[in-house]
Amino acid sequence: MSAEPLDDSRVVLAPARPGSEGPEAQVLFETRRTAQGYICGLVFTSAERLVSCLGPDQPWVALPVGALRELLGEAGITVIAVDPTTREAAA
């Protein structure tokens, strides 16, 4: 994973897929479990890194890190993995 600190205003790519449709449409963010047992969100600092890890068909959304922290925090997820490798993302 990248050691690069991310400012909350930095726009990143988060693996996600469409959830429910309609007036309360949702986006479902992909998560993984760390080796320590924590559930974490995944973000990538470039499309190339996302594709390298998850493949060209992986859907994603671009948003500021701060917005993602807030959304994941609502689900109790406080850890975000930045630019994980294929092995880390599969864990």
Which residue shows structure tokens 């068909």? 57
pTM for the model = 0.83
DSSP-derived secondary structure letter, 83: S
Tens digits of pLDDT across the chain (91 residues): 444 578 899 999 999 998 877 777 788 999 999 888 989 999 999 999 999 999 999 999 999 999 999 999 999 999 999 999 866 565 5
Query: Which H, E and C letters describe 24-82, residue by residue?
Result: CCCEEECEEECCCCCEEEEEECCHHHHHHHHCCCCCEEEEEHHHHHHHHHHCCCCEEEE
